[in-house]
Amino acid sequence: MGNQVTNQEQQVRYLKDRLNMFLQVLDSIEPESTKVEDIDRLIQMMDDLELKMDQFKKTQE
């Protein structure tokens, strides 16, 4: 997939990038035409981000 994110600076950069990506997707959604699948994808993106944050936390302990 990609390079492993190992140090704290890389981890923070990764999380910021993913959060920005999420915000861009959220901004691009048209409420009138949003489907359940779109909402499910947003939820999955947040779950993935939370999982990654938990993984990074464990490496810092």
List pLDDT tens digits, range 25-60: 999 999 999 999 999 999 999 999 999 999 988 887
Of 1, 5, 3, 21, nearest in space to 53 by CA: 5
- How far is Cα 47 from Cα 45, in angstroms, rounded to an integer? 5
Reading the block at residue 44, the tokens are 């999955």
The pLDDT of residue 59 = 84
Are residues 30 and 54 in contact, defined by beta-carbon separation less than 8 angstroms?
no
1 confidence band (pLDDT: 50, 70, 90): very low
The pLDDT value recorded for residue 2 is 59
**Residue 61 binned pLDDT confidence (cut-offs 50, 70, 90):** confident
Read off the amino acid at residue 48: D
